């Protein structure tokens, strides 16, 4: 939503400002609810969500960890419940900025009441043995696996949706792309029975790339679709990306990068809007290990076979990209290519198995 401001007040600050944010609190969706935000001298108003008097700026806390770091989190108590508004949009932050000096900076976490104290005590009981193990293993794979196994899928989905909402703002999604119906149909076949609510999208981007976020947000670039000559090649890329989600590779990378603090927040269900915002920022810097890439290949082939789709399209597409001259395609820079890898994919295809071609006129789609 564009920011709208009224004429400046006598102090030079605008009389009001508008924008959007994500609201978290009891009774709201775990991934937050997108709300309209109105700021004025008398306080913060959320039309449609909170129709009562505005929240006075003096009653709001600005989280010190988020202030000025690309996201803004405002927290307040209402009717005994704690609400948090996370603002990542730069224009909305600018609209709120003139009024923030009247708000309070958040108190240290140790002084936020019995619920926070209880969570801290519970976390301590888990952290102490982990610290001992971590000192020996330097937060090795075994510790990461232990933490990831204790993060509920529901928590991963909620945070993934919040992170995807922020990613969408930076993407030029093409909701009427001619390949989208086929992509979503293939994706549904590959994810049948999954606990994740998948979303498949096409983004207008000339780079030959695709990515998947924890929770099931999968995006293919138009540059990749233009390089594919058959629907089976696109299916191979989809199967690979889906397995990064199913195998929780992204979540594992985030736990590894974030360390024990955020990992335990996730495991204990204490993750709020600020954690989701930090997660979205970390996702852009993550890359999968070669072991995870090989795992996604192998599991992707198995998923393609179960879905009755020729899995050789995966190796064909990656080999074709690797054979091109010039700069390495973005997909191969994040999914390292080698003849050994292609051969491993083809070796997993059951011998003598015949696959019916996908019922997609891919030449027409490319045109």
C-alpha–C-alpha distance, residues 243 and 307, integer Å:
14
Q: What is the pLDDT of residues 346-360, one digit of tens each?
A: 888 888 888 999 999
pLDDT digits (tens, 9 = 90+) for 219-274: 999 999 999 999 999 999 999 999 999 999 988 887 777 666 666 666 665 555 55
Higher-confidence residue of 123 and 279: namely 279
b/e string for 62-98 if b means 16 or more Cβ within 10 A? bbeebbeeebbbbbbeeeeebbbbbbbbeebbebbeb
Q: Look at residues 100, 68, 78, 103 and name the one whose alpha carbon lies nearest to residue 25.
A: 78
Q: Taking the CB of residue 245, how many other CB atoms lie within 10 A of it?
A: 24
pLDDT computed for residue 7 by the predictor: 44
* pLDDT-wise least confident of 152-166, 267-281, 302-316: 267-281
In tens, the pLDDT along 186-213 reads 999 999 999 999 999 999 999 999 999 8
pLDDT surpasses 90 at 98: no
Question: What confidence score (pLDDT) does residue 111 get?
Answer: 40
Percent of the chain residues topping a pLDDT of 70: 69
Instruction: For residues 239 and 305, give the distance between their C-alpha atoms in angstroms, rounded to a whole number.
Output: 10
Task: Give the model's pLDDT for residue 327.
Answer: 57
pLDDT of residue 8 exceeding 50, the answer is: no
Q: What is the pLDDT of residue 224?
A: 94
The answer to whether 101 and 307 are in contact (CB under 8 A) is no
pLDDT range class, residue 303, cuts 50, 70, 90? very high
Q: With a cut of 90, say whether residue 319 has pLDDT above it.
A: no
Q: What are the angstrom distances between the C-alpha of 270 and each of 33, 114, 154, 155, 294? A: 18, 14, 13, 9, 33
Can you give the pLDDT at residue 259? 64
pLDDT value at residue 73 = 82
The chain-wide mean pLDDT, for the chain, equals 78
- For residue 164, pLDDT over 90 is answered with no
Report whether pLDDT(10) > 50. Answer: no
* pLDDT band for position 136 (cuts 50, 70, 90): very low
Q: In the predicted model, is pLDDT for residue 89 greater than 70?
A: yes
Which residue's structure tokens are 């209402």?
Answer: 78
Query: Residue 202 and residue 90: Cα distance in Å, rounded?
Result: 25
């Amino acid at each position: 939503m564009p920011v709208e401001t009224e004429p400046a007040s006598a102090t030079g600050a605008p009389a009001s400002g508008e924008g959007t944010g994500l609201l978290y609190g009891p009774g709201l969706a775990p991934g937050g609810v997108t709300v309209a935000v109105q700021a004025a001298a008398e306080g913060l108003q959320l039309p449609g969500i909170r129709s009562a008097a505005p929240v006075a700026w003096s009653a709001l806390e600005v989280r010190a960890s988020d202030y000025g770091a690309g996201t803004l989190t405002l927290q307040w108590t209402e009717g005994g419940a704690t609400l948090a508004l996370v603002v990542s949009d730069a224009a909305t932050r600018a609209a709120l900025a003139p009024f923030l000096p009247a708000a309070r900076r958040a108190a240290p976490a140790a002084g936020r009441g019995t619920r926070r104290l209880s969570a801290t005590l519970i976390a301590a009981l888990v952290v102490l043995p982990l610290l001992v193990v971590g000192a020996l293993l330097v937060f090795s794979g075994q510790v990461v696996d232990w933490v990831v196994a204790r993060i509920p899928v529901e928590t991963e989905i909620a945070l993934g949706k919040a992170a995807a909402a922020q990613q969408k703002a930076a993407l030029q999604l093409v909701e009427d792309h001619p390949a989208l119906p086929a992509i979503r149909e293939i994706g549904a076949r590959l994810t049948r029975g999954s606990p994740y609510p998948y979303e498949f999208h096409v983004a207008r981007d000339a780079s030959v790339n695709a990515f998947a976020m924890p929770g099931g947000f999968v995006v293919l670039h138009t540059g990749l679709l233009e390089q594919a000559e058959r629907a089976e090649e696109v299916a191979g890329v989809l199967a690979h990306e889906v397995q990064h989600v199913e195998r929780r590779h992204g979540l594992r990378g985030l736990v590894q990068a974030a360390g024990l603090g955020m990992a335990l927040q996730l495991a204990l269900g204490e993750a709020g809007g600020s954690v989701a915002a930090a997660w979205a920022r970390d996702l852009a810097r993550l890359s999968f290990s070669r072991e995870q890439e090989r795992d996604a290949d192998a599991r992707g082939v198995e998923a393609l076979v179960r879905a009755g789709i020729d899995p050789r399209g995966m190796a064909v597409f990656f080999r074709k990209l690797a054979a091109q001259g010039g700069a390495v395609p973005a997909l191969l820079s994040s999914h390292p290519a080698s003849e050994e890898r292609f051969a491993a994919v083809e070796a997993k295809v059951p011998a003598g198995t015949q696959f019916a071609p996908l019922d997609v006129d891919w030449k027409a789609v490319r045109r």
